[in-house]
């Protein structure tokens, strides 16, 4: 791999475990964002803060459920900390 490609893509481009973590992190954010939009979509036109607490609880519960589903799909050589790091790093790369 060229130095430029390695610098842009990182070493994960050649590592199957890193590729899996990247894929799972992307899935986590896609699923959570879709649910968040669904839950928050009915807040339009409501007074500021009304219903916010309930929606936030539902969004957090969904995020935990999605994370648990993804943890169950991890191969034995990866652990929860690896997944959580990948999820956090995926956010740092998002625009």
For the chain, the structural domain boundaries read 3-93
Q: What is the mean pLDDT of residues 8-13?
A: 57
φ and ψ of 78, to 5 deg: -110, 150
Report the phi/psi class of residue 34: left, alpha or beta, with left for phi > 0 and alpha for psi in -120 to 50: alpha
By residue count, the chain amounts to: 95
Please state the rounded mean pLDDT for residues 44-72. Answer: 81
**pLDDT-derived band at 37, boundaries 50, 70, 90:** confident
> Which tokens in the block code for residue 79?
């652990």
């Amino acid at each position: 791999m060229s130095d430029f490609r390695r610098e842009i893509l990182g070493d994960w481009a050649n590592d199957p475990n890193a590729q899996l973590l990247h894929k799972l992190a992307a899935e986590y954010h896609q699923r959570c964002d879709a649910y968040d939009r669904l839950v928050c979509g009915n807040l339009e036109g409501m007074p500021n803060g009304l219903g916010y607490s309930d929606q936030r609880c539902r969004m957090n519960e969904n995020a935990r459920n999605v994370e648990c589903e993804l943890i169950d799909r991890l191969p034995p050589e990866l652990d929860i900390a690896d997944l959580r790091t990948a999820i956090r790093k995926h956010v740092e790369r998002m625009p």
